[in-house]
């Protein structure tokens, strides 16, 4: 292509507009890539944050689970003792 600075070129104005448009498209592509990378990084950071919080609370969850299992064990011990005391829940059971 001839140089668009040449004053006598019949399409000089259109060629200048085309160059400006191409430059603007390149700027927009760079900005789009930057925003996509930013969103990708934000999602990665959010996923990592959630994992860190859960890992830090893991000991708390384990303590709660231990307490719950102890309560279940006590319930079954109590039920077994009641079962044995009431003659296998037969006629000796109150309200029967």
Residues 44, 51: Cα–Cα separation, whole Å:
11
Cα–Cα distance for residue pair 8/90, rounded to 1 Å? 114
pLDDT tens column, 47-95: 777 777 787 888 888 777 766 778 888 999 999 988 888 865 565 555 5
pLDDT digits (tens, 9 = 90+) for 9-34: 788 999 999 999 999 999 999 999 99
Instruction: Check the CA dihedral 47-50-56-58 and report its sign.
Output: negative
The pTM for the full model equals: 0.43
Residue 81 to residues 74, 77, 95: CA-CA distances in angstroms? 10, 6, 18
Q: For residues 4 and 16, is the Cβ–Cβ distance under 8 A?
A: yes
Go through 15-47 and write b for each residue having 16 or more CB atoms within 10 A of its CB, e for each that does not: beeeeeeeeeeeeeeeeeeeeeeeeeeeeeeee
């Amino acid at each position: 292509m001839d140089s668009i600075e040449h004053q006598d070129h019949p399409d000089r104005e259109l060629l200048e507009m085309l160059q400006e448009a191409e430059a603007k498209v390149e700027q927009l592509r760079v900005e789009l890539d930057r925003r996509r990378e930013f969103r990708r990084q934000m999602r990665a950071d959010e996923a990592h944050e959630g994992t860190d919080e859960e890992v830090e609370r893991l000991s708390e969850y384990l303590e709660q689970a231990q307490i719950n299992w102890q309560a279940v064990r006590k319930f079954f011990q109590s039920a077994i003792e009641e079962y044995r005391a009431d003659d296998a829940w037969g006629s000796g059971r109150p309200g029967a």
